[in-house]
């Protein structure tokens, strides 16, 4: 039986573990042993076999302003790619990511072996046993910049996120169920409000001061970093999956499971 070391126990990491289990691979999961917090309009675009995913439900995107206005409001001048109101303009089916992650954590959470990757990528690494050296492959879903080398460039977007709470601003502007409202205008300081599977979230640009936007009150608000792209070749012997693992915009969470299934099928003994 072939073996895989999986780095990270967020939704992407546990989807890789699930794919390994279904493919009859031996797997070991290494990570800080804690369940990830999910923010924003997150959902699955495909169901995951043998996992309770809810749905499908139809999600609708609404846009105030134009895609160009929305791009400038959220990313400034640094991003020339597409934005979610363009990518998901048509209504489409969605499955419950948070519910699926709960199911995955119940199934595989006890398999996680506690590990601090920041220690491994420091001067202490030479004194630390590397447990995955005997595995056939390593799949990393932890933020790729953990493995960064000097002069590597990692581009990202930081946003303020407030969600799944009775905070007054979210409560007063609660989006319609299964709706993502995107705002590219100067009339509102927020850029996205969503209500997906009962989780209502609001997001603001982090530092778009040139348009007059200020960070929201700190109470209950989290600063979230969203990857865009990178030029790093560090840890090139790993397979990097997931938006944070690959450090690329546009990777859907459900993609990770199906990518892993292909990897295990192609590398099968």
Judge if 168 and 42 occupy the same domain: no
Question: Measuring CA to CA, how many Å separate 15 from each of 6, 25, 58, 209, 219?
Answer: 10, 13, 23, 38, 32
pLDDT in the model for residue 100: 95
pLDDT in the model for residue 128: 52
Judge if 134 and 252 occupy the same domain: yes
Judge if 213 and 83 occupy the same domain: yes
> Domain tally for the chain?
2
Q: How confident is the model at residue 157 (pLDDT cuts 50, 70, 90)?
A: confident
pLDDT in the model for residue 82: 84
Judge if 11 and 78 occupy the same domain: no
- What is the per-residue DSSP string for 98-167? HHHHHHHHHHHGGGEEE--HHHHTSGGGGGS--GGGGSSEEEE-S-GGGG--TT--EEEEEEEEEESS--
Number of separate helices (H) and strands (E) present in the chain: 8, 12
Judge if 46 and 171 occupy the same domain: no
Mean pLDDT, the chain, as a whole number?
84
Judge if 103 and 185 occupy the same domain: no
Judge if 69 and 188 occupy the same domain: yes
Run of H or E residues at 256: helix 253-266
* Structure tokens, 215: 């960070």
Judge if 204 and 110 occupy the same domain: no
Sign of the torsion angle spanned by Cα atoms 232, 234, 240, 243: negative
249 alpha carbon, distance to own chain's centre: 10
pLDDT in the model for residue 205: 85
pLDDT in the model for residue 267: 67
Distance in angstroms (rounded) separating the CA atoms of residues 235 and 148: 8
Of 130, 111, 113, nearest to 32 (Cα)?
A: 113
Judge if 236 and 134 occupy the same domain: yes
pLDDT in the model for residue 126: 46
Q: How confident is the model at residue 74 (pLDDT cuts 50, 70, 90)?
A: confident
Judge if 186 and 239 occupy the same domain: no
Q: How many Cβ atoms from other residues are within 10 Å of residue 178's Cβ?
A: 18
268 has a pLDDT exceeding 80:
no
Q: Are 17 and 104 in contact (CB under 8 A)?
A: yes
Judge if 167 and 268 occupy the same domain: no
pLDDT in the model for residue 143: 92
Least confident of 12-16, 147-151, 210-214: 210-214
Judge if 160 and 191 occupy the same domain: yes
* Structure tokens, 19: 């794919």
Give me the domain span that covers residue 85: 57-94+154-228
- CATH classification at residue 243: 3.40.50.720
């Amino acid at each position: 039986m072939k073996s895989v070391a999986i780095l990270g126990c967020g939704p992407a990491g546990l989807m890789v573990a699930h794919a390994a289990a279904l493919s009859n691979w031996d797997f070991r999961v290494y990570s800080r042993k804690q369940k990830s917090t999910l923010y924003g309009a997150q959902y699955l675009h495909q169901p995951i076999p043998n996992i309770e995913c809810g749905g499908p439900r139809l999600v609708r995107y609404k846009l105030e302003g134009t895609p160009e206005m929305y791009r400038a409001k959220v990313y400034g001048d640094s991003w020339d790619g597409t934005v979610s109101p363009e990518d998901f303009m048509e209504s489409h089916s969605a499955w419950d990511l948070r519910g699926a992650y709960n199911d995955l954590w119940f199934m595989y959470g006890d398999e996680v072996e506690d590990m601090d990757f920041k220690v491994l990528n420091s001067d202490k690494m030479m004194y630390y046993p590397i447990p995955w050296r005997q595995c056939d492959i390593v799949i990393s879903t932890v933020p790729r910049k953990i493995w960064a080398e000097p002069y590597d460039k990692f581009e990202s977007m930081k946003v303020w996120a407030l969600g799944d709470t009775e905070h007054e601003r979210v409560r007063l502007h609660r989006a319609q169920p299964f709706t993502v409202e995107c705002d590219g205008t100067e009339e509102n300081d927020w850029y996205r409000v969503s209500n997906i599977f009962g989780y209502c979230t609001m997001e603001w640009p982090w530092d778009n001061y040139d348009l007059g936007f200020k960070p929201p009150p700190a109470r209950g608000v989290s600063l979230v970093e969203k990857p865009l792209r990178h030029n790093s070749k560090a840890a090139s012997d790993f397979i990097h999956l997931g938006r944070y693992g690959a450090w690329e915009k546009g990777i859907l969470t459900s993609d990770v499971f199906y990518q892993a299934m292909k990897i295990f099928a192609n590398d099968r003994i």
